[in-house]
Amino acid sequence: MTQDKRIKDFNPVAQSWDAKPRRQLLAQAVAGAIRSEIPLAVSPRALEFGCGTGLVSYLLLPQLATLTGVDRAPAMLQVFEQKARELGQGERVSTFLATDDTLLPPGDTFELIYSSMVLHHVPDYAAVVARLVAALTPGGYLALADLDLEDGDFHDQGEGVAHAGIDRELLQQQLRQQGLVAVRAMTAHCIRKQRAGGEKVYPVFLVTGQRPPA
């Protein structure tokens, strides 16, 4: 099957992914925003969709009961698993290789599902969001961080980018339509890049919602 050019292959950059300070700062901001919006004191069973190397997840891990990292890039999952071993957390951490047909571990549900900078790489992100909502336990939380709508120059190369950011208002509406409550948005971080006209600021939002308790 031909690879959809709108879906980036992250395997070649897995080993060097963590090296950019900008990515570390973003992960810290997103993890901090999740902590501020989601009651992690209950130590939820959590899943990160599009986990990459786990930059966000390993900041949250001390407050999680278990952690499942889901990604479609095997090389990213290898780095994710290596971090778990180095931390001695192999029993609490698992991974799942996503495919077009099986995005999430079959039959599993989670008390917290989150992602960071993933949706703008997904052609039909609304369908993915619906599947994430369906995998929440009653009372479970969804937290989605992504780029606000931009003019298309955030990425240096266009390949692998399905959307020039995500409309946070539309995303909130979609979550409400999926039955989530207490849906809200905040600006979690701002990424600054040098462009032809000088420095440009790209906001990153966090949208959260809860599946109603049983």
Tell the residue number behind the tokens 């571990």, with chain if given. Answer: 105
Flag whether pLDDT at 118 surpasses 90.
yes
pTM attached to this predicted model: 0.92
Q: What is the pLDDT of residue 11?
A: 67
pLDDT in tens, 55-72: 999 999 999 999 999 999
Phi first, then psi: give them for residue 87, nearest 5 degrees: -90, -5
Tokens coding 168: 């946070």
Flag whether pLDDT at 107 surpasses 70.
yes
Q: What is the pLDDT of residue 126?
A: 96
Flag whether pLDDT at 5 surpasses 70.
no
Average pLDDT over residues 98-113: 95
pLDDT in tens, 28-59: 999 999 999 999 988 999 999 999 999 999 99
Q: Report the length, in residues, of the chain.
A: 214
The residue extents of the domains of the chain are 22-210
For the chain, how long is the longest CA-to-CA vector?
Answer: 52
Helices (H) and strands (E) in the chain, counts: 5, 7
How far from each other are the two terminal CA atoms of the chain, in whole angstroms? 41
Tell the residue number behind the tokens 């997840």, with chain if given. Answer: 57
Q: What is the pLDDT of residue 20?
A: 84
pLDDT in tens, 144-182: 999 999 988 888 765 678 899 999 999 999 999 999 999
pLDDT in tens, 177-199: 999 999 999 999 999 998 887 89
Flag whether pLDDT at 9 surpasses 60.
yes
SS (H, E, C) 167-189: CHHHHHHHHHHCCCEEEEEEEEE
- Would you state the CATH architecture of domain 22-210? 3-Layer(aba) Sandwich (3.40)
SS (H, E, C) 137-170: EEEEEEEEEEEECCCCCCCCCCCCCCCCCECHHH
